[in-house]
Structures are given as structure tokens and as C-alpha cells.
Structure 1
Amino acid sequence: MSTGRLALLTAVALMVIMLAMTAGISLGAAPVPVSTVWGIIANKIHPGLIESTWSAGRESIVWEVRFPRVILAALVGAGLAVVGAVLQAVTRNPLADPHLLGVSSGGALGAIIALMHTGLIFGLVTVPLFAFVGSLAATAAVVAVTRFTGAAADRLVLSGVAVAFVATALANLTIFLGDPRAAHTVVFWMLGGLGLAQWSHLVYPAAVLFICLVWLTLRAREVNALAMGDETAATLGVPVARFRAQLFVITALLTGVMVAFSGAIGFVGLVVPHFIRLVVGSDNVRVIPLSAFVGAVVLVLADLAARLVMAPEDMPIGVVTGLVGGLAFIFMLRRK
């Protein structure tokens, strides 16, 4: 693909993200006109820029509720799609994603432990920290099970399914042993949702996504080499074992932080990278950043659907991604 076409695709992706986020802010149980949405945002960025003709209620809906929510949806969607793209390349398995490999389940387990048993002992970073540790532990468990069973690296997803079941069982046990009055709070992490988005919390997923995405994009050619096999990567000068370990830590960090703020959301990391490869090919120099763009759009639209289907109630976003992703999964099996 030429540089000009890649630049055009990037510009189109950015425009689509802006349109999707605008729709996500404007639409809902209480619709807000697009002109009002951008007027409120402009006034918040530059006070007094536009004459205020809207009510305080609409301003609160746009700025305090929906805007941080769609930003979080974009961050989480981008993060999960990038993780899926990297895991599929590293494991050489087209069905690999953070949900199927048990990484999301490990992150949810860590978040639930923090919520129900330890409390916010480290302040606001407690839940993301525990979720990262849970994701990292799940990743290590998947690798250990694969080695124990003697399965090839491209069969890693089978070990991931087993680890996901175990992590989910431990999460259920943790809920059972915890305070019943607090149990309803963990449903958010089990089903996925973005209703707890706040401006003060967005800095954590934004910073982690930016750092990890830049690092992965810069190392994308090495990811390409690893995707061609360990022997080929070693011939090209890639330190296979160390680089694979680094990728597992990065993907666990991304997944853990995203799960901490959104719950366990499946299938975004599975479907989006395949769609990108259909358009731009398998070169991860293009696949990784474009997966971030498209993943952001997909989850913003999924969250919009979750808010509209049962308005004024919010359907868990994990239900929407599960339904759509499950159908896409069946289609992929059909395509072999």
C-alpha cells in the first residue's frame, strides 16, 4: 500500500471516529442537537467562545456524562483491538484475542478482588493495578499450560480458554465470599460497561494506550518477523524469547487497564484486526495503528447501541459485543 493511500485511510478513520463520537454524545434517552453538543464542548475548552443558549441539564448530560463515556469507549476499543492484533501475530492463531486467551478474565478477577476485598489501598490506581496483575498472571498461566501440555504456540488459544474458565470460577468464588451488599458492583466488571466513566479517571487508560501503542508501532516490523515463525525471527536478529515476553507484558498491561475501567468486553480484539487485514494486508506496521482507529469506532457505536436498545436503561456493552462478535466468529469458522 502506498504512503498516500495509508494517509488517506488514516484521515478517513479519524473523521469516522469524530462522527461516531458526535453521535455517541448527541443520541440517547435525552437527545441533544449536534450544534448544542459542539457548542458546549467549545465553551468548555474556551469559555465565552459561543453564547450559551442551552440549559444546565443539557450541559451536564453532554460534558459530565456522555463525553467522558465516549472517550473511554474509544480508548478501550482501541486498546482491545491492538491487543488482539498483536496476540494473533505472536501466537500465529487467527482466533486469538484477550477474551478468548483468558487475559480479560484475569483482569476482571484482579479488579473484583480489589473492589470486594482490599479496597482502594493505593488510591485510584488500585483497581487498574490489580487488573494488570490479574491479566499478567492469566497470561503467564496460559504460557505455562501450553508448555505443560506440549501444545504448539499456535494452539495457545486452547490453553487460554481453559485459563479463562478457571479465572471466571475464581471470580465467582471471590464474589461469593465477599460482602453480599457489594456484589452488585462487580456485575459491571463481569458484563462490561462504561457507565462509570469520569474525567478524572481517563488519564490512566489514555496514558497507557498512548505509550503501548507507540511502542508496538515502533516494533511492528519485529512483530512481523515473529509472526513468520521463531526460526525466521531469530534469523532476522529478533531475540525471540525476550521479545515475546515483552509483548505479553505489554498486552497484559493494556488489557488489565482497559478491563479495570470497562469490565470484560469480548470479541473486539478478535474481529477488528481481521477486518483491517482484509483492507490493508497483514503488515503490522499498518494493522496495529489502524486496528486502534477502527476498534475505537466499533466500541463507541456498540456503546451507543447499548444505550439506545433499552433506553432509558443501559444494556451491558458486553452483551452487544458478544452478540455481534459471536455472529462474526461463526462467519469466520464458516470461512475456515
Structure 2
Amino acid sequence: MHAYFRETHQRLFPVLITVLFIVTVMSIAVGQWQLGWLVSLQSLSPWQSDVAPHILTIVQQVRLPRTLLCLFVGALLAVSGALMQGLFRNPLADPGIIGVSGGASLGGALGLLLLSWGSLNVGFTLSVPLFAFLGALVATLFVYRIGTTSMGTSVTVMLLAGIAISALSGAALGLINYVADNQTLRDIALWSMGSLTGASWGLIALTGVASVTLTLFAYRCAPHINALLLGENEAAYLGINVHRLKRLLIIATAAGMGVSVSAAGLIGFIGLVVPHIGRLLAGPDHRTLIPLSAILGALLLTLADIIARIIVAPAELPVGIITALMGAPFFLWLLIQQRQAVVH
């Protein structure tokens, strides 16, 4: 089995990186204006003098920033999901399902509201991610405290706590919508459905730094997470400071979710689906799963964004709707698998 996974790893990463490059070019080429692959690549190359100015504008100022944001947010969501599943030692753990996304969205919406009121003077790129991070952190700590006892982590309690967090976040979001002005209300509504239309170089820099930092941190923690999967007592016997590790994973997950939600709104199921796909392809070792999740998350979200742009062209759907349509059946399949495992 180990030889099989080792051989798979040697072929898997080059193939996925090649596919990711193809999908990235496709994301730049398709849309309301069909540009073609060669023209898209030429627009980003030193030989762009023959390309029409309006095509250069479309590629360099609209589609390239949006595609880069897709890649970074997808990696953030997927790595955050892998960390959360490792933290809770449960394959059903997901930032959206257990209420962390709801907490982040509430914090981000509060940041947007305060920004529109002029209570914050630091700008969107700083204020909204900060509030989204604080909301995600509070939600994660709450769910972890409620769902974890001396006997371990209960997925049932965890899911119920997530439902409570989501309900409270929904009620608070309704209150914010009630007091917000028309423009802020529209911003919050589009943002809460998951959208990548607001891509800017500031957000790209923020998500790029966050995704690389989170992936490197998660990869460094991967051996400790592998030990944690054996049980907290077993990990402690191996010399791991379990409580410190759990605190670091909580903060890292909250930071990843806070940045991704502030940049693209609520995009569900990427953090649930991608780690499972990674385990099916390469096994449960987090030293492989973490970088694989980053690549697969970027790939899956970019594909979802392409579908969102072309399915009702010339209009476009929020990408959160597409990921929900893809992820909800997968989640139901996971529940059925868990049920069958309990029965047998």
C-alpha cells in the first residue's frame, strides 16, 4: 500500500500542476468575450504589442486578477478544511458546516457596516479581513469548546454547535441588513453568496500571502497532525504539546477562513470536499495531503468560477451557488458512508 501511494505521488503532482495551468489559462480565455487560448497567453507575454488594447484591458485588469483570486482563495479554503478535519479528527468537519464560515461572514459584514458608517478609516483590505478573522476565531473556539470533552470530540455536538452558530450569525446578519444603507446592503448580499467579481490587487496580495503562509505552516505541522489522528494521549506520549498544537490549528484555520471570506464571501464545501479527494488520491498522510489540498482547492474553485461565468452567459452566477451544487451531493454521500460504517 505504501509503495502504491509513493508511486502515485510521483505521477500525481506533475499531472495536477499541468491541469491547473490549463484551467488557469481557460479561466482567462472564457467569459462574455471568448478570447481564445493563444490570445490570452499572448496578452500576458512580452509579445503583446499585436493584441488589441481592449483585449489587453480585459485580460490584465479583469480576468487575470479574478483568476489569481480564485487560485488563492481555493487553496485557503481547502487547506483550512484539511486542518479542521485533522483538528477534530473527523472527516465531516468543515468550516461552513460547523459554523466557522458563518462567524467569519458576520464579522466581515460588521466590518463592511462600520466602514460604510465611517467608523473605520483603515480601508476594506485591512478592516474587513480583521473582523472576519475575529468572527471565525470566536466561532471556532466556541464549537471546539462545546464539542470537545475529556472523552474526545463528538461530531454530533459539533454539528449542533455549528447549527447554533449559523443561526445566531444569520440573525445578526439580518439585523445588520436592516440598519445598512442600500449600497452596503447590496455589497453584503452579493458577498454573502460568494463572489469573485471584486478582485483587486490588494486582495490578491492579501490572499496570496495568506495562502502561502497557511500552506507552509500546515505542512510544517503535518507530522504532528498525523500523530494527533492517533488520539490526544498517543500524541502526548510522542512528545507533542497537544494543547498548544490545537490552539495553533484553531488560530490558523480562523485566519484562513477570515481572509477567504473577506475576499470572496461565503464559498461552501471546498474545505469539505477537497481533503476527501486528496485522501482518495494519495492517502491520509498530511505531509502529502496539505500541498495536494492546496492544488486541488485552487483547481476546483477555478473550475467552479468558469462554470459560474458561462452557465447563464452573458450574466453570471455567484460562485458559492456552484460550489454548493457540487458539494451538497458529496456531503450526502459522506453521511451515507458514515451511516453504513456505524451499522456494520
| Residue in structure 2 matched with residue 46 of structure 1 by the alignment | none
Q: What is the root-mean-square deviation in Å for CA atoms of aligned residues?
A: 1.7
- Given the two structures, how large is their TM-score scaled by the length of structure 2? 0.91
Shift of the alpha carbon at 1:146?
2.8
For structure 1, which runs of at least 5 residues remain unmatched after alignment?
44-49
2:146 alignment partner AA:
V
Distance in 2 (CA, whole Å) between partners of 1:322 and 1:12 is 26
* Structure 2 CA distance for partners of 1:5 and 1:126, relative to 1, 3 Å: same
> Is this contact kept in 1: 2:69–2:203, CA < 8 A?
no
1:267 alignment partner AA:
F
Distance in 1 (CA, whole Å) between partners of 2:226 and 2:127 is 35
Question: Which among 314, 318, 323 is matched to residue 312 of structure 1?
Answer: 314
* Structure 2 CA distance for partners of 1:153 and 1:29, relative to 1, 3 Å: same
- Given the two structures, how large is their TM-score scaled by the length of structure 1? 0.93
Distance in 2 (CA, whole Å) between partners of 1:113 and 1:151 is 37
Distance in 2 (CA, whole Å) between partners of 1:68 and 1:180 is 27
Match status 1:132 vs 2:129: no
Distance in 1 (CA, whole Å) between partners of 2:202 and 2:251 is 26
Distance in 2 (CA, whole Å) between partners of 1:174 and 1:150 is 38
Q: Deviations over 1:118-155 (max 9, x none)?
A: 445223211111111111111122123335x9984142
> Is this contact kept in 1: 2:147–2:154, CA < 8 A?
no
> Is this contact kept in 2: 1:72–1:202, CA < 8 A?
yes
Partner SS, residue 202 of structure 1: helix
> Is this contact kept in 1: 2:133–2:254, CA < 8 A?
yes
Q: Deviations over 1:269-307 (max 9, x none)?
A: 111111110111111111111011001000000000000
Partner SS, residue 74 of structure 1: helix
| Residue in structure 2 matched with residue 255 of structure 1 by the alignment | 257
> What aligned pairs does 1:1-336 form with structure 2 within 5 A after superposition?
1=2, 5-43=8-46, 50=47, 52-119=49-116, 120-123=120-123, 124-146=125-147, 152-155=152-155, 156-336=158-338
2:335 alignment partner AA:
L
2:147 alignment partner AA:
T
Shift of the alpha carbon at 1:83?
0.9
Total equivalences in the alignment: 329
Percent identical pairs in the alignment equals 35
Shift of the alpha carbon at 1:188?
2.3
> Is this contact kept in 1: 2:79–2:214, CA < 8 A?
no
* Structure 2 CA distance for partners of 1:304 and 1:20, relative to 1, 3 Å: same
